[in-house]
């Protein structure tokens, strides 16, 4: 038995979560998985792994959830599948199962800018979308519509740098990093964006 195993019993994501009921979920929503090329799917997997790494720095990593996670994702993902929360079905179903009826959707097409008042929600949703071609324009708002149709209240919020989304990195893990810097470290948005560029 190595020391690590002795002192850090490995808890399942569910067990970890039950110890920390007030922490929000950070959900990467793979609703648009099939719109991606194999290479892009690989990039999504990598960004999920990097998101897990980031969350470990602040929380435990178990608050990272991936929804619409199909077999192909599970096969391609070489991060710690057993340490994050994986849900095969719709995001709305996952949320309802957790008693969550309102979320913040990070959406570059939103009118409103993410702000402190949003930090009390129980789930943040980031689109599991990678843009290499221009084929996935406005796919994030569709995630919001899907959730609203299923009865979830959605606060669509954008992240901006000096008032504009230009200059904001759009990788999934960078968006997560910006939220964490604001929420946990109390940094203002411009500073958080600069630090994640």
Binding residues for ligand SAM, per CB under 6 A?
A: 106-109, 126-127, 129-131, 136-140, 158-159, 165, 168, 170, 172, 175
Q: Which residue is nearest to ligand SAM (CB)?
A: 127
CB-nearer residue toward ligand SAM: 16 or 130: 130
CB of 135 to ligand SAM, least distance (A): 9
CB of 134 to ligand SAM, least distance (A): 9
CB-nearer residue toward ligand SAM: 16 or 175: 175
CB-nearer residue toward ligand SAM: 16 or 65: 65
Are the beta carbons of 104 and 141 closer than 8 angstroms?
no
CB of 177 to ligand SAM, least distance (A): 11
CB of 9 to ligand SAM, least distance (A): 34
CB-nearer residue toward ligand SAM: 100 or 176: 176
């Amino acid at each position: 038995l190595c020391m690590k195993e002795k002192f850090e019993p490995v808890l399942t994501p569910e067990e970890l979560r039950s110890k920390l009921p007030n922490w929000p979920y950070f959900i990467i929503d793979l609703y648009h998985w099939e719109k991606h090329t194999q290479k892009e799917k690989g990039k999504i997997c990598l960004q999920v792994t990097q998101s897990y790494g980031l969350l470990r720095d602040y929380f435990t990593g178990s608050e990272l959830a991936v929804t619409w996670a199909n077999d192909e994702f599970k096969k391609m993902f070489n991060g710690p599948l057993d340490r994050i929360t994986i849900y095969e079905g719709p995001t709305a179903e996952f949320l309802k199962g957790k008693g969550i009826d309102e979320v913040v959707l990070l959406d570059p097409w939103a009118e409103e800018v993410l702000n402190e008042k949003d930090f009390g929600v129980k789930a943040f949703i980031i689109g599991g979308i990678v843009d290499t071609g221009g084929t996935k324009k406005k796919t994030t708002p569709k995630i919001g519509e899907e959730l609203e149709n299923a009865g979830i209240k959605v606060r669509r919020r954008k992240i901006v740098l000096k008032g504009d989304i230009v200059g904001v990195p759009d990788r999934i893990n960078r968006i997560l990093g910006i939220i964490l810097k604001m929420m946990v470290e109390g940094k203002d948005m411009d500073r958080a964006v600069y630090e994640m560029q």
